[in-house]
Chains A and B, each alone.
Chain A
Amino acid sequence: MSAEDLHPREREGVVNPEVRVADDESARGQDGRRLDHAEGTSKPIKAPPVREPQPRGAKIRGDRPIDQGEAAERFLAAPLHAAAHDERLWDLRKKRDAVAHGIPEWEELRELASQIKTHTLAHLDQYLEQFEAAAKANGVHVHWARDGAEHNRIVLGILRDHGAKTIVKSKSMLTEECGFRHFMAGEGIEIVETDLGERIQQLDDEEPSHIVAPAVHKTRLDVAEVFARTLGTDPDNDDAHYLAESQRETTRPHILQAEAGMTGCNFAVAETGTVVTCTNEGNADLSGNVPKLQIHSIGIEKLIPRVEHLGVFIRLLSRSALGSPITQYTSHFRKPRTGTEMHYVLVDNGRAARLGMEEFWTSLKCIRCGACMNTCPVYRRSGGLSYGATYAGPIGLIIDPTFNKRKYSTLPFSSTMNGSCTNVCPVKINIHEQIFAWRKVLAEEHHIPMLKQGMMKAAGAVLSRPAAYRAAIGAADSALKVLPRFAVYNPLNTWGRKREMPEAPRQSFHAWYKQNRMKDGGQ
């Protein structure tokens, strides 16, 4: 492959050399040139040579604490899935680095975005009222929902007013939060997701495992299996073009016939009353613009004051998410088209309460790019479904406990607190510090296992008493015959199952010092 064959972005080093694969036809357009959109420049993951059942997510048992570690262990027990998942997401992290490092003012942009969001959240009441007034002036019906259930009832009411029974919708984490699909299924409303990844997840009756790549934990073979079972495609054909085309062909009729269309919202502009969505498939446009009734679900934290602020966020969003300069579509919805009706549902669902949490309110700055997930070494090796929550990965660890403290009490511990999430966050949320802060809150409120707290109490008792500590790490301070209990203080010895134990040295530093550096031998 000569330099002439390369797309300009590859020649300029924007695309990591590892991404270039000469024989990868799936990333090339009809003219043979490499495609310039996010998926086109992704590193193709070779399909596993043998079928491996897709690992499923965390076991949900009411409000009982999620065992993320157990689900992660099952995920890792499927090595082909685990490797593909880690490789795919690490590739996104690398591409994010490449494009971020190509913009000299990148860190200033992050700071600016953070300040705009901080300002907006500090004056959220004013901006929400401004947004509502602007939207109404544009002829949009505006509704307010206290929680997910109210959101669902409001949407159902709008549908009933129009006698609508079918919806096409684009991907929205908010509607996932609200349990929207399951609620509507119970009401006899047919929903078709129009985002490819989200459609795969819908057809497989699974939650999205990633904010922007909902089916990233699945391989092409898994998708072939799901589509064969639900859309009647060839189960042995796992060609990406074939599968994507099958989804497209089977979704188009739904889009054309749906009685209502829904989208989520990436940014809600207060001064104009505009909802802005960012997609790579154009499916938000189709969902919003084709049916005669359009509904946009908006989390109240999505507000930004002015259109000019969009420039800051649009520059950050797709670069952080996928390492691409911009999403294929950045769509502005402002007024109903002639002969149609347009509704906004502004949803709180815990956000106002979170805004009052001194240590955690800045999590509301999140623009749902997923960069923290892509960089998180624990998330990459666990799969998003292991978190058993709407939001997985680092951002999930700090948001989920605000929805249900007991159920998600374990999640802030599923982190090594390495801090890379904080550094990639385009709005500078101090994610790893909030994870640390959550651990304290959960321990104080006795939401951590008694065994764990008991162990820490015992460790604290030993480590605060020099004599007890000396006794624990080795009798008479000489040869350490057994491992110090404080370091590997675990009845199951989880260290030794997968790692060799460290060798006990002949003597501790303390004993060496006493013997070699103290004239009287410490007496």
Chain B
Amino acid sequence: MRIGLFVPCYVDAFEPEVGIATLELLERFGLKVEYPFDQTCCGQPMTNTGCHQEAAATEALFVKNFSGFDYVVAPSGSCVHQVREHLTAIPQTEEVRKVRASTYELVEFLHDVLKVDALPWARFPHKVAYHANCNALRGIGHARPSELNLPYFSKPLNLLQKVAGVELVNLARPDECCGFGGTFSVFEPAVSAKMGYDKVADQKRAGADYVVSADSSCLMHQKGCAERLGLPLKYIHIAQVLNGAAA
């Protein structure tokens, strides 16, 4: 089984530990993971702004880097959603379609493909609020969103519950968007920041010490908001927790 590791651009630049944890975690399951060296980005910043033509070359590069793998795994629901649903600026050849269908977000890869039932190395004795990234939640189906009248399930919480010591706390608005929204965060700063402030306040009220998410982008935004408000909350990616981060 050939596994290609996709480290999204902002993880590469801002949160290298998340990339490292993802790589190490996959290796704990005996997988041989390859990291295509010329990778950059999935094209989402341009596509989400409507600029599909401007994303085409980046999308082509993504496909070039990741064709030939059985699975492409990335620690980001948002980027995987882009690849799976919106990587359409280039002609949809068989190669492109295969790469798109083979791309998995880390949590769903662990949950659905590897069917992980134990994480004996992981211990995280903290009060944890889980943040559901909207693209992971509604875009690729991480969990049942609170507004749908369907049977409950949650892949990330299922995995977190296998980590010793984790005490999950409940948010008043469990899957309210945090306001990052990609380029929304810089083009609509007032509303974006207010949503972020409300989100971190909810986490604080719930008694969380740590906020865990499958998306570094939301975490980066929330961390920036919490620091500005002076709230002592810590933010960590689920890859790090599942990989046994001592925190």
Contact = CB atoms under 8 A, between A and B. Distances in A.
A378 B184 CA distance: 11
Interface in B162-213: 173, 175-177, 179-182, 184-196, 198
A442 interface: yes
B153 interface: no
Interface string A430-457: 0000001011111110001000110011
Contacts of A416: 134, 177, 179-182, 184, 192, 195
Interface in B22-75: 23, 35, 37-41, 43, 45-46, 48-58, 60-61
Contact of B224 (A82, A414, A480, A502): A502
A424 interface: yes
A429 B118 CA distance: 40
Most chain B beta-carbon neighbours within 10 Å: one of A375, A438, A443, A459: A459
Interface in A380-429: 381-382, 412-420, 422-424
Contacts of B134: 416-420
Most chain B beta-carbon neighbours within 10 Å: one of A375, A441, A500: A500
B138 A420 contact: yes
Given A72-B191, A490-B186, A494-B186, A86 B12 contact: no
Given A72-B188, A100-B149, A443-B50, A420 B13 contact: no
A499 B193 contact: yes
A90 interface: yes
A464 B58 contact: yes
Question: Majority SS of interface residues in chain B?
Answer: helix
Given A416-B177, A460-B51, A495 B189 contact: yes
B214 interface: no
Interface string A359-376: 000000000000000010
A510 B38 CA distance: 9
B147 A424 contact: yes
Most chain A beta-carbon neighbours within 10 Å: one of B56, B186, B198, B228: B186
Contacts of A420: 134, 138, 145, 147, 175, 177
Nearest to B15: A505
A180 interface: no
A453 B227 CA distance: 32
Interface in B213-229: 220-221, 223-225, 227-228
Contact of B184 (A415, A474, A504): A415
A424 B14 CA distance: 35
Contact of A505 (B16, B45, B146): B16
B19 interface: yes
Interface stretch (B3-11, B105-113, B120-128): B3-11
B135 to A, nearest CB: 8
A413 B149 contact: no
Interface size bucket, A side? 35 or more
Interface in A307-330: none
A509 B7 contact: yes
A7 interface: no
Interface stretch (A101-109, A113-121, A139-147): A101-109
A39 interface: no
A440 to B, nearest CB: 5
A497 interface: yes
A415 B181 contact: yes
Contacts of A423: 138, 145, 147-148
Interface in A212-270: none
A75 to B, nearest CB: 9
A377 B179 contact: yes
Contacts of A499: 193, 196, 221, 224-225, 227-228
B146 A97 contact: yes
Nearest to A72: B191
Contacts of A508: 12-13, 16
Contact of A484 (B13, B52, B145, B189): B13
A517 interface: yes
A61 interface: no
Nearest to B188: A69
B76 to A, nearest CB: 13
Nearest to A424: B147
Interface of B: 7, 9-20, 23, 35, 37-41, 43, 45-46, 48-58, 60-61, 86, 134, 137-139, 145-150, 173, 175-177, 179-182, 184-196, 198, 220-221, 223-225, 227-228
8 contacts: A103-B149, A104-B149, A414-B191, A416-B134, A440-B52, A474-B13, A500-B223, A522-B37
Interface of A: 68-69, 72-73, 76, 82, 86, 90, 93, 96-97, 100-101, 103-104, 106-107, 375, 377-378, 381-382, 412-420, 422-424, 436, 438-444, 448, 452-453, 456-457, 459-461, 463-466, 469, 473-474, 480, 484, 486-490, 494-495, 497-502, 504-505, 507-513, 517, 522
Q: Which 6 A-B pairs have the closest CB atoms?
A: A416-B181, A439-B50, A499-B224, A443-B50, A464-B57, A509-B19
